[in-house]
């Protein structure tokens, strides 16, 4: 599946690796815009809508081998031989899965607040309930949708994030499939070791990347380094964009030296 994309050319061409930015669950290609706006200074940027999100195609299948194949198909569609991949949450797992499918196409890998593990936890049931409540209420504007969601969700930041995908009274993600395939999204199947430098950026307050996952992570990414962003939760790049960009730029510099 060729994904819907937004491509931007580097403001200064320095023959750097192009960067593909991959959003997480309930997101869209806009989500990592704060990173794109900085990194486009010296890298070509490709932002993607993952399957069943944004303006990309719908599919009943929502697992990481399929999502990795989508990224590969999208590289081919843009005639990109290799790229550096930066993914948040679900997007980070999709990028990790790509190392098993096409390791030779990856210049670098940055995973933001996610580990290559089966979490076996449902963290999004309240979000699903809020999304479905908006649909049942037949809300047509974001203002109406927000009022409905505030009855289910207390975090205004989460509500505003979700509303970015509410357009003309419709959700731009495939809610039934995301619900049905949710075990695959939080799940993981162990992949062969990718023995190249990888950067993991956990939020210091987040439960997604903790010491208990260290051994499993290093088995699959033996050259991984972690840069913990203190005081940040799961939305690390939104909460502490400057710190995240410093870590990414340090990693990119190391890759070219």
**Together in a domain, 168 and 53:** no
Q: What is the pLDDT of residue 99?
A: 98
Q: Is residue 28 part of a domain?
A: yes
- Residue-wise pLDDT tens for the chain (257 aa)? 999 999 999 998 778 999 999 999 999 999 999 999 999 999 999 999 999 999 999 999 999 999 999 999 999 999 999 999 999 999 999 999 999 999 999 999 999 999 999 998 899 999 999 999 999 999 999 999 999 999 999 999 899 999 999 999 999 999 999 999 999 999 999 999 999 999 999 999 999 999 999 999 999 999 999 999 999 999 999 999 999 999 999 999 998 77
Quick one: tokens of 52? 């069943």
**Together in a domain, 22 and 97:** yes
**Together in a domain, 107 and 132:** no
**Together in a domain, 38 and 105:** yes
For residues 52 and 58, the answer to whether their CB atoms sit within 8 Å is: yes
Q: What is the pLDDT of residue 96?
A: 98
Q: Which of 138, 153, 177 is the last residue of a domain?
A: 177
Q: Is residue 244 part of a domain?
A: yes
Q: Is residue 26 part of a domain?
A: yes
**Together in a domain, 168 and 195:** no
**Together in a domain, 132 and 73:** no
**Together in a domain, 198 and 233:** yes
**Together in a domain, 149 and 201:** no
For residues 31 and 50, the answer to whether their CB atoms sit within 8 Å is: no
**Together in a domain, 217 and 251:** yes
- Measured CA to CA, the distance from residue 54 to residue 214 in angstroms comes to 33
59-62 contacts: CB < 8 A, separation 24 or more? 59/1, 59/177, 60/177, 60/180, 60/181, 61/181, 62/177, 62/178, 62/181, 62/184, 62/185
For residues 200 and 115, the answer to whether their CB atoms sit within 8 Å is: yes
**CATH at 86:** 3.40.50.1820
- Name the active-site residue from 17, 28, 89, 165: 89
Which residue range(s) make up the domain with 92?
Answer: 5-118+187-256
Number of independent structural domains in the chain: 2
- Name the active-site residue from 23, 88, 234, 237: 234
Q: What is the pLDDT of residue 188?
A: 98
Active-site residue flag, 53: no
Helices (H) and strands (E) counted in the chain, each on its own, are 11, 9
Could you say which DSSP state residue 141 is in? S
Q: Which of 177, 197, 212 is the last residue of a domain?
A: 177
Q: Which residues contact 4 (CB under 8 A, 6 or more apart)?
A: 29, 48, 49, 54, 55, 56
**Together in a domain, 25 and 101:** yes
Query: Could you tell me the pTM of the whole model?
Result: 0.96
Q: Is residue 182 part of a domain?
A: no
Q: Is residue 161 part of a domain?
A: yes
**Together in a domain, 134 and 22:** no
Active-site residue flag, 234: yes
From 187, 188, 176, 171, select the one nearest 135 (Cα to Cα): 171
Q: Is residue 95 part of a domain?
A: yes
**Together in a domain, 81 and 42:** yes
From 83, 69, 61, select the one nearest 10 (Cα to Cα): 83
């Amino acid at each position: 599946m060729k994904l819907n994309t937004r491509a931007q050319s580097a403001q200064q061409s320095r023959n750097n690796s192009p960067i593909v930015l991959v959003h997480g669950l309930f997101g869209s290609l806009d989500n990592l815009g704060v990173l794109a706006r900085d990194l486009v200074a010296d890298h070509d940027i490709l932002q993607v809508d993952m399957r069943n999100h944004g303006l990309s195609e719908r599919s009943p299948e929502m697992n990481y081998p399929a999502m990795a194949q989508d990224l590969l198909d999208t590289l081919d569609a843009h005639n990109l031989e290799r790229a550096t991949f930066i993914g948040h949450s679900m997007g980070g797992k999709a990028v990790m899965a790509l190392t098993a499918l096409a390791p030779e196409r990856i210049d670098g890998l940055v995973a933001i607040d996610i580990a290559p593990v089966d979490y076996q936890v449902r963290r999004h049931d309240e979000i699903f309930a809020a999304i479905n409540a908006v649909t049942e209420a037949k809300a047509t504007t974001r203002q109406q949708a927000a009022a409905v969601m505030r009855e289910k969700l207390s975090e205004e930041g989460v509500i505003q994030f979700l509303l970015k995908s509410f357009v003309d009274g419709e959700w731009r993600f495939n809610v039934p499939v995301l619900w049905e395939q949710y075990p695959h999204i939080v799940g993981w199947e162990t992949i062969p070791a990718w023995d190249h430098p990888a950067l993991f950026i956990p939020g210091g307050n987040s439960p997604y990347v903790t010491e208990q996952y260290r051994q499993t992570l290093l088995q699959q990414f033996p050259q991984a380094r972690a840069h913990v962003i203190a005081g940040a939760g799961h939305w690390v790049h939104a909460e502490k964009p400057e710190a995240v960009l410093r870590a990414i730029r340090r990693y990119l510099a190391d890759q070219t030296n």
